[in-house]
Amino acid sequence: MTTTGETYNEMRGPSGEVRDAYSDYQAWFEEQDAKTLSRKHRDAETIFRRTGITFNVYGADEAEERLIPFDIVPRIVTAAEWRRLSRGIEQRVRALNAFIHDLYHRQEIVRAGRLPQRLLCNNATWLPQMVGFHPPGGVYTHVVGIDLVRTGPDEWFVLEDNARTPSGVSYMLENRETMMAMFPDLFMRVPVETVSDYPRRLAKSLAACAPAAARGRPVVAVLTPGIYNSAYFEHAFLADQMGAELVEGSDLRVVDGRVAMRTTAGYKPVDVLYRRVDDDFLDPLTFRPDSLLGVPGIMDVYRSGGITIANAPGTGVADDKAIYSFMPQIVEFYTGEKPLLPNVQTWRCADPDDLAYVLDQLPELVVKEVHGSGGYGMLVGPASTKMQIAEFRQKIVSRPDNYIAQPTLALSTCPIYTDAGLAPRHVDLRPYVLVSPDRIEITPGGLTRVALTEGSLVVNSSQGGGTKDTWVLKE
């Protein structure tokens, strides 16, 4: 595993030579007029602003809306590289689904001593309401996002699993549409796998998971918390692209044992609900009684086979970063194979020996909350002040079970466009995976997030990162 100090440049080799993946792009780039590229780089922001591609940032300025910066230089992966990645992603997603099923049934992995029982005790993401329940089609993780980082030519690592409500796919789609609108000639020169059919495939995959109560063509709806949610643009975008209804909790009610949505012709049963509402707010009769975002009684309908909820409640247990540290054992336990995609080395602060090591090496490590996301609640040791490290140390000591630590990886770099030319910046990648009862589909590419600040390793949009189009080259 490569740590800080050795950085793999995905476009250029050690002597500055252009790697095969970027050869056609480089030839095209050299033919372009610098002023035209600069103008198109500015045009991209105008396109995103006109389209309404924003996200909300929570913090000092509550619900402040921002544009996600978009870079016009694509991140390019060869067909051979993608084949290897796809095999590893599919293996991991199969293991995740089997793992979640086991946790809510016999817990064989705990009985076998491969996973400590303590990771489930007092774990807020593990839901006792799901014990013994078989979701329609046996699918828990209908949509999965696997966060990957690269550190070398053949070195890819899984950084995080997103099995609850992975976001960002709308930006993947809009990035591609924007690139095709601005540089149609480039796509004539470089053969790239398509991503534009994702909404159609999502709708088909969700419909394949319809419950036994469904009659005729399954009715799919997208449940959003509302316009003030940080990912509302994505909720509305996907509903529109799928031809599904976008609903809020107030649009739904239980009618004759089914969850039904309000229409001009009365209430119509919903078969599959692609929910973008967290578990706690899904059903005020089962979870938080003060929730106005969910549907009273939906869990009873779900457990009786009247609706499919995607992703299934309780899948967040697979996002737990302490459980993530056991993923190599989990993959081997359920597939009988060694993981094709390795984890990043992880120290669990709940373990006394690991805690001692983390506290001793804190300035060199990245520390994350086990249920954290979006770049919040984390410490990047090498980029932190002594005061920040001291304050975070106290947080770890007071709640060690709430934190894991990882080495500071030398994330690979891809070029971004600047007025001075191309400049390398650190990136990660989130491919999107669709799971139905009979297949697993991986979109060729995914969302590349880029740390726009030179030297920064934090790629999250909430922390100032941007995005770029991800190309998988055709054979």
> Measured between alpha carbons, how far is residue 445 from residues 66, 75, 379, 393, 398 in Å?
25, 9, 29, 38, 41
The CA distance from 350 to 400, in Å, is: 5
Question: 């299934």: which residue's tokens?
Answer: 312
pLDDT tens digits along 177-195: 999 999 999 999 999 999 9
Check whether domain 212-306 has CATH 3.40.470.10, yes or no: no
Whether residue 117 has pLDDT greater than 50: yes
- Which of 405, 422, 416, 473 minimizes the C-alpha distance to 448? 416
Neighbours of 356 (CB within 10 A): 12
The CATH code that applies to domain 345-408 is 3.30.1490.270
Span of 12-21, 188-197, 202-211, 376-385 with lowest mean pLDDT:
376-385
Q: What is the pTM of this model?
A: 0.92
Q: What are the residue boundaries of the structural domains of the chain, listed by start?
A: 212-306, 345-408
pLDDT recorded at residue 96: 98
* 36 backbone dihedrals φ, ψ, rounded to 5°: -65, -45
Torsion 423-424-428-430 (CA) sign: positive
What pLDDT, on the 0 to 100 scale, is given for residue 121? Answer: 82
pLDDT score, position 459: 80
The DSSP bridge pattern shows strands 272-275 and 220-223 to be parallel
Per-residue buried b or exposed e for 381-417, using 16+ beta carbons within 10 Å of the residue's own CB: beebeeeeeeebeeebeeebbbbbbbbbbbbbbbbbb
Same fold? 212-306, 345-408: no
pLDDT higher than threshold 90 for residue 67: no
pLDDT tens, position by position, 335-366: 999 999 999 999 999 999 999 999 999 999 99
pLDDT band at 63 (very low <50, low <70, confident <90, very high): very low
Q: What does the pLDDT average to over 215-225? A: 96
